[in-house]
Amino acid sequence: MLVGGDLGFLSSLVVVAFMAIFGPVSGFMVRRNWRRSVARREEIKRLLVLASEEAARVELQAAEEYGYDYGYRCESLKEKDEVFVETPASSAPPPTISTSYSGSFN
């Protein structure tokens, strides 16, 4: 089939127009996805820090309920007349340690 006209200039014009329109659009999409992934990564790190702090706080509270004391407290929670006295180790029951861990270390 014969095609009329010179397709060399027209096809290059179509390619240039396509790249001028869809090039920046695809660049903006890649940039947006990159920023969202960085923001997600930072949010995950922030949540991990909060979870570890909460776990440590819960562990200290549970230890205090059972009579254990690690020897340090938050200064803002102390009252002026409170005297910190460590409990003797003989009065506290021994801690239970579970050795049945089925995870793997990698």
pLDDT for the residue 79:
53
Mean pLDDT of 59-72: 74
pLDDT for the residue 16:
86
Distance CA 106, CA 104 (A): 6
- Whole-number average pLDDT of the chain: 75
Mean pLDDT of 46-51: 96
Distance CA 70, CA 94 (A): 14
**CB of 66 within 8 A of CB of 93?**
yes
Does the pTM of the predicted model rise above 0.85? no
Distance CA 89, CA 87 (A): 6
Q: Which two tokens stand for residue 10?
A: 């027209």
pLDDT for the residue 11:
77
